[in-house]
Amino acid sequence: MQLGVQEGGFAISTAAMGLSVEQGFFVSIICRVREIIWIIIGIALMKVGNKRE
């Protein structure tokens, strides 16, 4: 649901700090990758927890 909003926010905020818009998109992509990694870790932990019960 936030697809594009986070990227736009990072682009605007980095531009306001005097950095390029491309750097803002790069930061937003890194944040998305980090979110996906944590989602995968959480799903893996839930599956491990269900096997013990």
Looking at per-residue pLDDT, the higher value among 53 and 13 belongs to 13
Q: Is residue 21 a contact partner of residue 11, using CB atoms and an 8 Å limit? A: yes
pLDDT of residue 19: 87
Residue 53 CA to residue 45 CA, distance in Å, equals 13
Tokens of 7: 């990227």
Range of the domain at 42: 5-52
Number of domains forming the structure of the chain: 1
Contact 33, 12 (CB under 8 A): no
In the predicted model, what is the mean pLDDT of the chain?
Answer: 86
The answer to whether the predicted template modeling score (pTM) of the entire model surpasses 0.85 is no
Tell me what the mean pLDDT of segment 10-24 comes to.
Answer: 87
- End-to-end CA distance of the chain: give it in Å, rounded: 34
Is the pLDDT at 15 greater than 60? The verdict is: yes
Say what the pLDDT of residue 28 is. 86
Residue 25 CA to residue 45 CA, distance in Å, equals 30
